[in-house]
Structure 1
Amino acid sequence: MFIGFDYGTSNCSVAHMQDGEPRLLPLENASFYLPSTLAAPTRDSVSEYLLRHYQIQPLDAVGQQLLRRAVATNREEGIDLQADDLLFGQAALDLYLAHPQDLYYVKSPKSFLGAMGLHEVQLSFFEDLVCAMMANIKRRAEQVSQQVIDDTVIGRPINFQGSGGEESNRQAENILRRAATRAGFRQIEFQFEPVAAGLEYEAGLTQQQTVLVVDIGGGTTDCSLLQMGPNWRKQKDRSGSLLAHSGQRVGGNDLDIHLAFRQLMPYFGLGSLLDSGLEMPMKQLWNPVAINDLSAQNDFYAQRNLAELKLLHKEAQEPQKLARLLQVYHDTLGYSLVRRAEEAKIALSQLPEFHSTLELATEALPLTIHYDEMLQALDGPKQQIIKLVREALTLGGCTPDVIFMTGGSARSPVLRQAVAEVLPQVPLVSGNDFGSVTAGLARWAEVCFG
């Protein structure tokens, strides 16, 4: 059996072909979409868990080194891994929200795969993370379908998040391929996510069209200008139909991060002053919510940063705000803050105001965000997305017949209006915002393996 596999920044989903149509498989209870999260007792638990409970071996000497170190550390700490000690999806998120300080939690490891300057052991650990998530999803899909899944087409962005350009892309794709191989897939192909979404849109076309696909996912925005229609359907060589691509690290997570920074971090010291009259260092307020930036997260939660935060607390004109920032450090609350911003973003697509409470260990802070405040916070990412749309059009050298928007953030009225204003005379259509990429990957898997 073959599947299309959307290993997403926010969610993962898979689909197979049934009676000529893609069918998504439920992965968590009745949901087709499994949040891209993992929770474990410790960071070192992941590598040992793969061997102990999935019987998955490392592929090379670096992986073996990582495994030996993880086993030794777990023995020293008295950790005896049980079958249910690794949690995925909503179960992982629920555990983190209940006990953020007591476990190792990671969201969206896809965001880190293109990071440059990593040591071999770090790359091997990312491979273990992805492998654990893929193996879990493969097993869930096989249980639901009652079939062994051998082959897959995995979606990938035009450009992974990373500063290395094509080197970042090669590194990220290599991690995904190695992880998928270890998870048990035999034949593995990749397809650009916006092209996959276009393939699903193309299935309903009765005539040729030039389509601009704008896929705004959790981690990246990707645009593809494509020739589509019955003449191209099911052809494996579609190079002649691919007119232009553009892609960048800006997506739904960035919207949430910018909103969290502008509207939540003032409670933790953003804009406040030191006794010297200087403003609080910006990076100390940005890094905890920059959950898609590995170096920012490492810098903030590093042991050496604790002394810096204590000094800022001592020198702050409003020390209670820095006391809250110290809570963020000790309880690893960055993900919680970004999640609250995401809730606000979703609510403000329908309401003029968002009212909630920030629950900390020592106090509850009333929170109100207005629609206009959200617009101001999101303007930077919005302008980046508009630039990507214009870049694809310039590279393609033609005007599309239709704009097909997809991805979880394509529902945002702010972003839909922004894209529509670039080409006001071109109709903008939508499909399944969360499932179009997965369905298109399944269609391409049928071309590759059927």
Structure 2
Amino acid sequence: MFIGFDYGTANCSVAMMDNGEPRLLPLEGDSHFIPSTICAPTRESVAEYLYRFMQVQPKDSAGEQALRRAINLNREEDIELQLGDVQFGQHALDTYLSDPQEVYYVKSPKSFLGASGLHATQLVFFEDLVCSMMKNIKSQAELSSQQDITQAVIGRPINFHGRGGIDANRQAESILLHAATRAGFKDIEFQFEPVAAGLEYESTLSQNQTVLVVDIGGGTTDCSLIEMGPDWQQKTDRSASLLGHSGQRVGGNDLDIYLAFKQIMPLFGFGTQMNSGIEMPITQFWNPIAINNVVAQKDFYEAANFKSLKLLQKEAKEPEKLARLLAAYQHTLGYQIVRKAEEAKIGLSDAQKHSLMMPVASELLELDIRLEQMVDAVETPVQKMMDLVTEVISQATKKPDVIFMTGGSARSPFLRQALELQLPNVPIVSGNYFGSVTAGLARWGQTVFG
């Protein structure tokens, strides 16, 4: 049996074909979507758990070496793993939020794929993270479908990391391929996520159209200009229908991070001054919430930075705010801060004001964020998204008849308004914001495997 597999930045989902139509499978309770999160007792626990409880072997000698090192470090820390110690999805998030200091937590491993400067040990670790998530999802999908799943069409963004990075894209796709193979998939194909979303929209067309697919996901925004309709359906070679592509690593996570930076981090001292009159260094407020940046997270949470933060508090005009930043360091609160920003973004999709509350040390911080404040805060990533629309239109000699907007962040009215300003008089339609890519991947699976 084959599935379409959307290994997303924010959520993962899979779909099978059922009587000619895609059907999403439950992956966590009754939910068809599982958050792209994982937590474990320690960083090293992932490799050992994958081997010991998920029966997944290392890929090569580098993987074997990493596994031996992980097991030795766990023994040194007196960690004896039990079944269930590594958790996924909402369960992982709930465990992390209940006590951030007691677990190793990762949100959106896909955000790190294709990053430059990763050494061999990091590549092995990211592959283990992805593999363990894929193995869990495959097991849940087989439980839901009551069938063995051996084939998958996996979605991928136009660019995983930055613009036009061929080497980065090759590295990221290689990690996905090896992880999926180790997780038990025997036949694997890749398809661009916006193309997959377009295939799902195409199934509704009774006449040919030139369609601009704008897929605003958690980690990337991808645009594809595609000829679609009855003349193209069921063709295994769609290369002539693809008129243009653009993509960049900017998505819903970036909206959350920018909103957190501009609106929440002032409560932690951002924008305040030292006694000398000099403003606090920006990086100390950006790095803790840059959850999709390996280097930023490492720089903030390394031991040496604690001394720097203590010194900043000593020199601060508003030391009580810097005390909160110290608490963010000590309790690893970066993910929680961004989570509060994400909740505000979702709340402001259909309201003019959102009130948030966040416990920090012995305080309960309260803040009201208005819609216009959010729009102002996220201006930079939104402009990057609109630049991708301009880029893909410039690649083709035709303009779109319609815009198909999808992806979780596409629900935000201000993004739709920005797109309307960018391409006036072109109608915008939407399908299932979260499920269009997954459904389209399953349809492509029918074409290549069926």
Deviation digits for residues 168-207 of structure 1 (CA, Å, limit 9, x no counterpart): 1000000000000000000111000000000000011111
Contact 1:116 1:162 in 2 (8 A): no
Aligned position for 1:232: 232
Aligned position for 1:252: 252
What is the letter of the counterpart of residue 219 of structure 1? G
Aligned position for 1:27: 27
1:397 and 2:376 aligned: no
Contact 2:162 2:248 in 1 (8 A): no
Aligned position for 2:410: 410
Query: Gaps spanning 5+ residues in structure 1: where?
Result: none
Q: Which moved more, 1:163-172 or 1:20-29?
A: 163-172
Aligned position for 2:434: 434
Aligned position for 1:381: 381
For normalisation by structure 2, the TM-score amounts to 0.99
Aligned position for 1:43: 43
1:4 and 2:10 aligned: no
Q: Which moved more, 1:29-38 or 1:273-282?
A: 273-282
**Distance in 2, Cα, partners of 1:164 & 1:298:** 26
**Distance in 2, Cα, partners of 1:59 & 1:398:** 46
Aligned position for 1:320: 320
Aligned position for 1:351: 351
Secondary structure, aligned partner of 2:53? helix
Query: Gaps spanning 5+ residues in structure 2: where?
Result: none
Where in structure 2 are the equivalents of 1:234-383 lying within 5 Å? 234-383=234-383
Contact 2:324 2:361 in 1 (8 A): no
Contact 1:116 1:163 in 2 (8 A): no
**Distance in 2, Cα, partners of 1:145 & 1:41:** 31
Percent identity, please: 65
Deviation at 1:308, TM superposition (A): 1.2
Deviation at 1:162, TM superposition (A): 4.5
Where in structure 2 are the equivalents of 1:101-140 lying within 5 Å? 101-140=101-140
Secondary structure, aligned partner of 2:351? coil
What is the letter of the counterpart of residue 404 of structure 1? F
**Distance in 1, Cα, partners of 2:405 & 2:192:** 15
Deviation at 1:161, TM superposition (A): 2.0
Deviation at 1:346, TM superposition (A): 1.2
Question: Using a 3 Å threshold, how does the CA distance of structure 1 residues 212 and 266 change in structure 2: closer, same or farther?
Answer: same
Deviation at 1:164, TM superposition (A): 7.5
Secondary structure, aligned partner of 1:43? coil
Aligned position for 1:83: 83
What is the letter of the counterpart of residue 322 of structure 1? L
Deviation digits for residues 322-343 of structure 1 (CA, Å, limit 9, x no counterpart): 1110111111100100110111
Contact 1:114 1:164 in 2 (8 A): no
**Distance in 2, Cα, partners of 1:430 & 1:6:** 18
**Distance in 1, Cα, partners of 2:266 & 2:165:** 34
Secondary structure, aligned partner of 1:369? strand
Deviation at 1:277, TM superposition (A): 1.4
What is the letter of the counterpart of residue 69 of structure 1? R
**Distance in 1, Cα, partners of 2:351 & 2:360:** 26
Secondary structure, aligned partner of 1:42? coil
Deviation at 1:397, TM superposition (A): 2.2
Q: Which moved more, 1:353-362 or 1:108-117?
A: 353-362
Deviation at 1:111, TM superposition (A): 0.2
Secondary structure, aligned partner of 1:153? strand
Deviation at 1:399, TM superposition (A): 0.7
Q: Which moved more, 1:217-226 or 1:299-308?
A: 299-308
Contact 1:357 1:367 in 2 (8 A): yes
**Distance in 1, Cα, partners of 2:7 & 2:112:** 13
**Distance in 1, Cα, partners of 2:311 & 2:14:** 48
Aligned position for 1:176: 176
**Distance in 2, Cα, partners of 1:341 & 1:297:** 18
Aligned position for 2:448: 448
For normalisation by structure 1, the TM-score amounts to 0.99
What is the letter of the counterpart of residue 91 of structure 1? H
CA RMSD across the alignment: 0.9
Secondary structure, aligned partner of 1:15? strand
Contact 1:270 1:285 in 2 (8 A): yes
**Distance in 2, Cα, partners of 1:308 & 1:86:** 33
Q: Which moved more, 1:270-279 or 1:41-50?
A: 270-279
**Distance in 1, Cα, partners of 2:360 & 2:264:** 13
Contact 1:157 1:192 in 2 (8 A): yes
What is the letter of the counterpart of residue 21 of structure 1? E
Deviation digits for residues 350-399 of structure 1 (CA, Å, limit 9, x no counterpart): 22211122211211112111111111101111111111111110111211
Contact 1:34 1:89 in 2 (8 A): yes
**Distance in 2, Cα, partners of 1:40 & 1:162:** 29
What is the letter of the counterpart of residue 356 of structure 1? L
Aligned residues: 450
**Distance in 1, Cα, partners of 2:164 & 2:405:** 28
